[in-house]
Structure 1
Amino acid sequence: MTWIVNQQSGQAELAARFRKLMEEPGILQIPGTHDAMAGLIAKKIGFNALYLSGAAYTASRGLPDLGIVTSAEVAERARDIIRATDLPVLVDIDTGFGGVLNVARTAREMQEAGIAAVQLEDQDLPKKCGHLNGKKLISTSEMTQKIKMIKQTAPSLIIVARTDARAVEGMEAAIERVTAYIEAGADAIFPEALQSEAEFRQFAKHVTVPLLANMTEFGQTPYYKAKEFEEMGYQMVIYPVTSLRVAAKAFERVFEQIMQHGTQAGALPDMQTRSELYETISYHDFEGLDKEIAKTVLTKEQ
């Protein structure tokens, strides 16, 4: 049923659901959903939590992942996903969109948007994708200040602290950093761009809070299955840009069909039908709210 009528879960409730999911036995698979439609499809498949990637969100707006969007813009997209799905969402807030004071504002914006959890990284601006070269880090002290600020201004937000230190300072320094982040209040740890099972296991030996693995495509990390990450000691795994990449390639294929053949008819088997689309977006529920709107009747072919 539509969120306009249904009572939506509050931020604290969504955060509690996310915490329960990440602390339960097994591994929590969290698909990246770059928009509300992707979120609805993920929910239909059976996922219980969603991820909004900064890289996927910016790409969906035709922009690179270089820290050039604002916290308000990200919060607005996350709000769309939460309204559509009523699922807990983990949101990538990059560096917090600035210094410690900026992080305070970002945290409150995310909390007010109903976001369950935020992912904060220790890169310096201008930031880069975690699987690329040329990253720069802020000090451990500044990162811990940011974590403490989130706890102070939005205590119900779950904090997933990400470190990019493995590629910049090495594994030992990365482990030292996350130890400090946990002491500052991080609820979970995300070691970015690890390159082998040995590295994943090494991290797991030194971390006492839930661990998140990043199973992105075309990156530094080999393709491990969720069960393999669980066996390495991880409680969560994200697939951050998968939905965006698949959608973009689908756009390319169908537009090529239209350009080359003058029709999209050959691509129909790869499309949602009108009935499937309307079911996904609860079309008839919305329509039913206004008695002045004639009830839509679809044929079997639609």
Structure 2
Amino acid sequence: MDRRAAVTAPGAANALFARAIEESGFEVIYVTGAGIANMHLGQPDIGLTSLSDLVYAVSSIADVVDLPLIVDADTGFGNALNMYQTVRKLERAGASALQVEDQIFPKRCGHFDGKDVVPVDEMLGKIKAATDARQDDNLLVIARTDARAVLGLDAAIERAWAYGEAGADLTFVEAPVDAREMAEITRRLAKPQVANIVFGGRTPDPGRDHLAEMGFSLVLYANATLQAALHATYETLWALRDHGSLDPVADRLSSFDERQRTVRKPHWDSLEKRYALVAGAGRD
């Protein structure tokens, strides 16, 4: 994060997407709360996901990839005590960094209308709880503020500064509306900064080079894979409905071999052979 090189963190809502991200050569994975709400529950990102849903997703992803996981921990699922419990559970599940935010509970997507934020002192208590709860000091705490949409940019930057002073390792001003605001965030805040690019959302996508020039450390593309998969799913279903065949979309489908490689079937085949040899030797 100290490189300020706008490291790209694609979002994964499940272990399959995480495997694809790792196979594609990225350095880090973002476990997206909105993605889990959409893909596992079929619901919008309005605070319906539970801590248990998130822990299960993180542990499943951590089992199949070696990359560090930045986990969207929402509001900590309640007050400061809930935050403490959330950090303990997600760290054990395999998180390398946790993003926590200052929305009221239940929260909603940072690019939705109708958000509100808790008092600053309440969030400072949650940050203290998060830093106290971690067992490994290498677990990063990312403090996000959604105050830009509610109180304006200056208030959001003031909150982010306070959160950094309280112990957050990175800060994250959600949903700036243009490049000028994005540059203002990195200019005025000393801690490493996070940008969140949502296709169709409120924040523009200046591109990695420009974001690095601004000084952002991390750039989340939280649900790009989800949006691509959903679009391809509809196209495939429409082809089956209208043509009774996959022929119209065959060039957009993952091959059988690519699918098996992504889930590491050759690895499991080699393990099966290894243990079969051991069993055979035992019978001899």
State whether TM-score is above 0.5. Answer: yes
Amino acid at match of 1:111: E
Q: 1:98 aligns with which of 65, 78, 81?
A: 78
- The aligned residue for residue 232 of structure 2 is 250
- Contact 1:197-1:232 within 8 A present in 2 as well: no
Asked if 1:118 is matched to 2:98, the reply is yes
2:142 aligned residue:
160
Which residue number in structure 1 is paired with residue 2 of structure 2?
A: 23
Of 108, 115, 135, the match for 1:128? 108
State whether residues 215 and 224 of structure 1, in contact with CA within 8 Å, keep that contact through their aligned partners in structure 2.
no
User: Offset of 1:52 from its aligned partner?
Assistant: 1.2
Which whole-Å deviations, capped at 9, do the CAs of 1:252-299 have from their partners, x for residues lacking one?
0001111111122332221122211111111122123234999xxxxx
SS of the residue aligned with 2:64?
helix
Q: Please state how far the C-alpha of 1:69 moved relative to its aligned partner.
A: 1.4
Q: For 2:84, what is the secondary structure of its paired residue?
A: helix
Partners of 2:266 and 2:111 lie apart in 1 by: 43
C-alpha offsets along residues 60-102 of structure 1, whole Å, 9 cap, x if unaligned? 0201111111112112111222221111011111111111111
CA distance in 1, matches of 2:144, 2:4: 22
CA displacement at 1:209 relative to structure 2: 1.1
8 Å Cα contact 2:4/2:192 also seen in 1: no
Residues in 1 aligned to 2:100 and 2:3: alpha-carbon distance in whole angstroms: 23
Q: CA deviation at 1:42?
A: 1.2
Q: Per-residue deviation at 1:210?
A: 0.6
1:174 paired residue number: 156
Query: Which among 42, 45, 51 is matched to residue 65 of structure 1?
Result: 45
Structure 1 stretch displaced more, 137-146 or 216-225:
216-225
Q: In the alignment, which of 32, 39, 55 is matched to residue 34 of structure 2?
A: 55
- 2: CA distance, partners of 1:36 / 1:131: 25
3-state secondary structure, aligned to 1:74? helix
One-letter identity of the residue aligned with 2:27: N
Q: Distance in 2 between matches of 1:168 and 1:206?
A: 19
Distance 1:245 1:139 in 2: 34
Q: Deviations over 1:112-133 (max 9, x none)?
A: 0010001101000221111121
1:144 to 97, 101, 124: 124
The 4+ residue runs of structure 1 with deviation greater than 3 A are: 291-294
Matched, 1:265 2:247: yes
Partner Cα distance (2:157, 2:232) in 1: 40
Q: How many residues end up aligned between the 2 structures?
A: 273
The residue type paired with residue 25 of structure 2 is G
For the pair 1:201 / 2:177, whether they are aligned, the reply is: no
Q: Does 1:38 align with 2:20?
A: no
> Which whole-Å CA distance do the structure 2 matches of 1:141 and 1:115 have between them?
26
Q: Which amino acid aligns with 1:28?
A: V
Q: Distance in 1 between matches of 2:219 and 2:57?
A: 22
Q: Secondary structure at the match of 1:290?
A: helix
Shift of 1:227: 1.0
Q: TM-score, normalised by structure 1?
A: 0.87
Does the residue aligned with 2:12 lie in a helix, a strand or coil?
Answer: coil
> Identity rate of aligned residues, in percent?
34
Deviations 1:194-233 (A, max 9, x none): 0112111211122111101011111111221011111112
Residue type at the aligned position of 1:180: A
